[in-house]
Structure 1
């Protein structure tokens, strides 16, 4: 028996090894493609970081991707002071750290109510909310300005946070509604038998289960809010209320020839969003895939 089994096992192993070898060119091609794409995406960031650490003379005399011979950290100090980035950074932090958690909390509650609670015209309400994802906010800038101005909220934090919420919540409700819909009903029904209310079920079952989705939405919402420019330009007209993108625009207009400081300002503007992405990136793909699946 052993004499017949061994050759068969060897044949299967050889077949698997041969199949793996046949797949090698495909895998090599895939890796080459991924490396090329990574280089294309990383190259501008390398250029910006290297330039931010050079003097203007070094930028003119050295190659774009040549590391700085002498690291010039003063570019960051000078750009921070000359561009008044302490003010714009504080405004961006206040707006983003209020809007993002508040928007996620409102979206999670709305998605839970529409997915698991019996609401009259619930499907119609969901369709109306999802209609908000189809409207580009750029075409609504003039009406938004009129409404915000009529409430006297121009150059205020509520004046910019409320429109951000209005255009951010529908997409988040769509993703979270899809995720909540596939959670087994037995979990919530068992909790109801034990006397749990909807608030308790939402807080102890659905919120912990949706952490990957919430983390993915947090990344998207943080980056979009942190980098948003057009709506902030319309509503925040006082320089003392500007966010970082507006401050960077002003700095670029004043010091466009000082390449070292200009690129240092760019690095300081995008660094917080990059840090947030790196912290939560392991949840990003799994979270969006979970939210995109419907039962």
Structure 2
């Protein structure tokens, strides 16, 4: 009995020693996270400090130092000079129209391709995937001609349509993988209860796709808010400019006004930060949901 107890004591002690060893991999992850935080935060901190500086202070002092005198009026001057209210409203209109419509069309199409198999569905999905890989730049010239012929040039409606055309294929591809991963038994049980195809889509599959839809909402909103090439091609009058065009115009005309320029850039990203904070849980849980099954 004593021999058994004495033999078990070293094993317990060795187990304690094994558990007490430092987890170097976890420590390395924390160090990498800290370095990434520093690399990301320093430029943003410099931008914030510069946005409150006068031109003389910004040119004389180091960029990472806080201003000697805080000029809050830089934000009001930047918003007034860059017509932030007009351009922000234009960007919000485009994003809040394009993103929900695109997700609605993409979710319905992805559901049909994944849950309602028909002849040629694989070929159609392959065409959609190829369409999502087409660079925007090669389509700018024919896009300009087409919008001119349709009478939609220099209008927000003419901007929404190309955004939908270039955004929906990617969303279909992601949602197709998510819908394909939903167990077939759920659909079969619903059909036994007399549910129609639309009811299965609306009451069963779509609620399960909320994480993926939330992630796509954030990605699509950010992409629409920051899109520059198509907006530069189609929008000509300043009254229809979106935020990227306003930032470009402001930086071109007032490149030496470092304080208002950085203030304008910071204000232009505030709506994106708000959207991310509202949907961050869905983004984290659904960012890679479409990779489960394709």
Please indicate, yes or no, whether the TM-score normalized by the shorter chain is above 0.5. yes
Tell me, in whole angstroms, the C-alpha distance in 1 between the residues paired with 2:46 and 2:272.
Answer: 19
TM-score (norm. length: structure 2)? 0.93
For the Cα contact (< 8 Å) 1:216–1:280, is it kept in 2?
yes
TM-score, length basis structure 1: 0.93
Compared CA separation, residues 59 and 7, structure 1 to 2 (3 A): farther
Are 1:83 and 1:251, in contact at CA under 8 Å, matched by a contact in 2?
yes
Residue 86 (structure 1) aligns with: 85
Corresponding position of 2:8: 8
Instruction: Note if contact 1:103-1:165 (Cα within 8 Å) is conserved in structure 2.
Output: yes
Residues 36-47 of structure 1 aligned to structure 2 (within 5 Å): 36-47=35-46
2:49 match: 50
- 1:1-295 matches, cutoff 5 A: 4=4, 8=8, 11-12=11-12, 14-15=14-15, 17-18=17-18, 20-24=20-24, 26-294=25-293
Tell me whether 65-74 or 266-275 shows the greater mean CA deviation. 65-74
Distance change >3 Å, CA 9–CA 47, structure 1 → 2: farther
CA drift at 1:10: 6.6
Aligned-pair distance for 1:267? 0.2
Q: Which runs of 5+ in 1 are unaligned?
A: none
Deviations 1:207-257 (Å, cap 9, x if unpaired)? 111111111111110110000001100011111110011011111111111
In structure 2, distance between residues paired with 1:2 and 1:244: 79
Contact 1:155 1:237 in 2 (8 A): yes
Q: Secondary structure at the match of 1:108?
A: helix
Q: Output one character per residue of 1:70-98: Cα deviation in whole Å (capped at 9) or x when no partner.
A: 33211111110111111111100100000
2:21 aligned counterpart, secondary structure: helix
- Measure, in 2, the Cα distance between the counterparts of 1:71 and 1:241: 33
Structure 1 distance, partners of 2:211, 2:225, is 21
Count matched residues: 294
Q: Is residue 175–residue 288 contact of structure 1 (8 Å, CA) maintained in 2?
A: no
Deviation at 1:14, TM superposition (A): 3.7
1:131 CA displacement = 1.0
SS at match of 1:262: helix
Q: Distance in 1 between matches of 2:145 and 2:284?
A: 38
The range that moved more, 4-13 or 122-131, is 4-13
Q: Distance in 1 between matches of 2:237 and 2:248?
A: 14
How many angstroms apart in 1 are the aligned matches of 2:45 and 2:252? 23
1:5 and 1:188, CA in 2 relative to 1: closer, same or farther beyond 3 A? farther
CA distance in structure 2 between the aligned counterparts of 1:197 and 1:34, rounded to whole angstroms: 48
- Cα RMSD over matched residues? 2.0
Inter-partner Cα distance in structure 2 for 1:135 and 1:245: 22
